[in-house]
Amino acid sequence: MPRNRRPVDRAEKRSEIVNAARTLFVNDGYEHTPMGRIAAAAGVTTNTIYWYFGDKDELLVGVLNDIHADALNRFAALAGLTVNDRVLWVVNELEKYHRLVDTVHARTSTAACIDKWHNDFHTLWEHWIAAELRSEEVADAEIEPTTRTIVFVVEAMLTHPQDEASKRAIIDLLFRKVGVSS
């Protein structure tokens, strides 16, 4: 006879599943983490995961939302730093999740929910960059191409990791070239 379990709030159970998946996806990679391992780590059955998430891609989006919410909370505390320092922080933060960054880029063409998440992520950060450029009085005609350039440089640094001094030099040069003081 199954033992009685304490009732668990739906949000709490969802959070337990996301936390288990987050740890496994970060440590072992999305591709190397079967749903059964996530279920075991969360203390649920695989079917339980499907009550909360339609598939593994939706679970990945749940993990990405969780990571992003945590990062945004920490990012908000950096408001007093220069834009250069905040962009460097973003690069360092994204490097912690390089496996997931690679997974997101690889899966955007096959998973609509991941593609949507990725587009929304870019939109949010591109709007932030554009607002920073406007506050530095970069010409309106230069905002969009400069924003794209900054995004491309950040993504290149994630693809080709640099030491801290090199990252700093690249970011500082980039912002000097676009007329933003550090």
- Please, is 69 exposed, middle or buried when counting C-beta atoms within 10 Å of its C-beta (0-12, 13-18, 19+)? exposed
Same domain membership, residue 86 and residue 74: yes
* Residues 91 and 147 reside in one and the same domain: yes
Asked if residue 3 has pLDDT above 50, the reply is no
Assign residue 158 the CATH number of its domain.
1.10.357
Give pLDDT, residue 39.
97
pLDDT (tens digit, 9 = 90+) per residue, 57-112? 999 999 999 999 999 999 999 999 999 999 999 999 999 999 999 999 999 999 99
Question: Is 72 among the domain residues?
Answer: yes
Interval 101-132: pLDDT, tens:
999 999 999 999 999 999 999 999 999 999 99
- Residue that terminates a domain, selected from 53, 79, 96: 53
Q: Are residues 167 and 91 in the same domain?
A: yes
Give residue 82's identity as a one-letter amino acid code. Answer: T
Are 95 and 167 in contact, with CB atoms under 8 Å apart?
no
**Which residues contact residue 142 at a Cβ distance below 8 angstroms, ignoring those fewer than 6 apart?**
133, 178
Domain span including residue 122 = 57-177
40 and 67 in a single domain? The answer is no
CATH label of the domain that carries residue 21: 1.10.10.60
| Tally of domains within the chain | 2
In this structure, are 123 and 77 located in the same domain? yes
- Chain mean position to CA 46: 25
pLDDT tens across 9-40, in order? 889 999 999 999 999 999 999 999 999 999 99
Average pLDDT of the chain? 93
CA distance linking residue 111 with residue 106, whole number of Å:
10
